[in-house]
Amino acid sequence: MLLLEIMKEDIKQYLLETKFCDFSHPEIQKLAHKIGDKCKDDKEKAVSLFYWVRDNILYELGNWQRKASETLKKRVGGCTSKANLLVALLRANNIPAGYGVMKVYARRYFGPLALPWLTKFANEISFHVYCGVFLNNKWIKCDPSDDKELSENTSYINPQSKLVEWDGIHDAMLNLNKSDILENNFPVANIDFLMSKKPKHAKGIPLKIANFYIKFLRENKQRVKSVKEIEFLFKKWLRKYHPFYFYLFSIYTLIKK
């Protein structure tokens, strides 16, 4: 009985609002109940919210210093921002939710799609954040990081971006190589300390170009076999749609050789 009471007290921290997990925001509340009110139970709510975040918040790199309400407004976010929004929506539905915080070899995630120039601006070791949901008296992991379109257009060459599907029963994680995961802390109730950190490398022009590259990968329908092919196509795309950044990219590429 005492153990049960301790567990209940522990779970309460996974229902609290924080600076970045601002689930009392009117727009968070509106969406949380718009989706949740159509569902028959907490599992269905959690699954529906997962898929909404996965595909309606397009994946980008960096920019993690945003509240859940800001991510919802911008409709883009990295792993941290997307996990944080999902946690906020779950807590708004009174479903205990938290975070998993991994330390990973960040430069390896994009595999054959990693442009050499862009990887130089990424930390060798970085954090990867995913979501955890407490359903039926157990914790279940789910990772909404990669949106469907990005996964479907890249997983044929980069297995790590395989589309994550979740049933609300089993863990559903990104297809990361186990050797690339250095630490995995789970569950964590509050990651404001992490979201408050200022970026060292993921900022400015390199980040802007990196996110143009993510957008290109999402839109590109031409299959490639090597990083040289994808870099050629990206430069062509960048020159057409963002000529100013194409010239900056060309200059940076020469400087960093």
pLDDT of residue 208: 93
Q: What is the pTM of this model?
A: 0.94
**Which range is least confidently modeled, 62-76, 110-124, 130-144?**
110-124
Average pLDDT over residues 226-232: 92
Q: What is the pLDDT of residues 26-53, one digit of tens each?
A: 999 999 999 999 999 999 999 999 999 9
Sequence-distant (≥ 6) Cβ neighbours of residue 132 within 8 angstroms: 97, 98, 99, 100, 139, 140, 141, 142, 186, 187
pLDDT above 70 for 119: yes
Tell me the average pLDDT across 141-147.
98
Confidence of residue 154 (pLDDT cuts 50, 70, 90): very high
Beta-carbon-side half-sphere exposure of residue 145 (alpha carbons within 13 Å): 26
d(CA 232, CA 217): 12
Q: Which domains does the chain have, with CATH numbers?
A: 2-198 (3.10.620.30)
pLDDT of residue 148: 98
73 or 1: which carries more pLDDT confidence?
A: 73
- What residues have CB less than 8 Å from 162, skipping those under 6 apart? 151, 155, 174, 175
Q: Select the highest-mean-pLDDT range: 73-77, 108-112, 119-123.
A: 73-77
What confidence tier does 6 reach under pLDDT thresholds 50, 70, 90? Answer: very low
Give the bridge partners for 130, in sequence order.
100
Q: What is the average pLDDT value for the chain, to the nearest integer? A: 92
- Please determine, for residue 5, whether its predicted confidence score (pLDDT) is greater than 90: no
Give the Cα separation of 41 and 59 in Å (integer): 28
Task: Kindly state the helix (H) or strand (E) to which residue 77 belongs, with its residue range.
Answer: strand 76-77
Q: Is the pLDDT of residue 157 over 90?
A: yes
| pLDDT of 4 over the 60 cut | no
What residues contact 250, with CB distance under 8 A and at least 6 apart?
Answer: 235
What is the band of 241 on the pLDDT scale with cuts at 50, 70, 90? very high
Query: What is the pLDDT at residue 106?
Result: 80
> Could you tell me the two tokens for 188?
């964590």
